[in-house]
With several copies, the nearest count.
Chain A
């Protein structure tokens, strides 16, 4: 079981900020491929991966980051703080 969190327009397009999925994905990239298959909204929200950033257990990572031992994956657009 993996907790998935979405923020900003990714959250809006997918229609929820939080879901729990069964996955055996080895990496963040593999997980995203699985998530895109869940609904048209997911596929649309995650269609441009250049505009998607990821955090595993609240640490920023690349799409090749392994998921072994991870509890939570967050997906969101490029950050606009400051």
Chain B
């Protein structure tokens, strides 16, 4: 949990260097996507301080328990982000690629719908809360 920007590449390199014995490292980075009309000024991410940290810790622990992982990383920003900024990142390290991929998808599905973050798009015409996609809730049913 951090307000500051992060460098996804530097995080990936450091994570991978520490993951002794890993044969497979998967990363997912979420970026602030522009609106369909291309007029995004900023994305504001509200969160629930205290619960957020608990939720991220619990989601990471659940991934480590469910999959054969060497390590897992979860980074999520809050506050005001510019278009194209990285919002969050997960990375997983495992001996084999199937575990690394599945764990990264699991972490993302849970972060989307079970961690207390709310995104708001800011454009010249005002602020609009992002509506969750039906697929995001459906994706959780896989696990």
Chain A residues with CB under 8 Å of chain B are: 5, 7-9, 55, 58-60, 74, 76-82
A8 to B115, CA, bound (A): 14
Q: Are B112 and A5 in contact (CB under 8 A)?
A: no
Residue B21, interface by CB 8 Å: no
Q: Are A80 and B118 in contact (CB under 8 A)?
A: yes
A43 to B122, CA, bound (A): 27
Interface size on B, residues (CB 8 A): 28
**Given contacts A7-B46, A55-B51, A74-B48, are A79 and B129 in contact (CB under 8 A)?**
no
Q: Are B112 and A79 in contact (CB under 8 A)?
A: yes
Q: Are B51 and A79 in contact (CB under 8 A)?
A: no
Residue B38, interface by CB 8 Å: no
Q: Which of A58, A59, A77, A82 contacts B129 (CB 8 A)?
A: A77
Q: Are A7 and B48 in contact (CB under 8 A)?
A: yes
Residue B117, interface by CB 8 Å: yes
How distant is B85 from chain A, measured CB to nearest CB, in Å? 14
Q: Which of B48, B50, B130 contacts A80 (CB 8 A)?
A: B130
Q: Are B118 and A79 in contact (CB under 8 A)?
A: yes
Q: Which of B117, B129, B137 contacts A81 (CB 8 A)?
A: B117
Q: Are A80 and B119 in contact (CB under 8 A)?
A: yes
Specify which of B50, B88, B97 lies most central, judged by the most chain A CB atoms within 10 Å of its CB.
Answer: B50
Q: Which of B55, B87, B97, B113 contacts A78 (CB 8 A)?
A: B113
Q: Which residues does chain A contribute within 8 Å of B72, judged by CB atoms?
A: none
Chain A residue with minimal CB distance to B128?
Answer: A9
Q: Are A82 and B51 in contact (CB under 8 A)?
A: no
A81 to B132, CA, bound (A): 9
**Given contacts A78-B132, A81-B76, A82-B88, are A58 and B54 in contact (CB under 8 A)?**
yes
Residue B123, interface by CB 8 Å: no
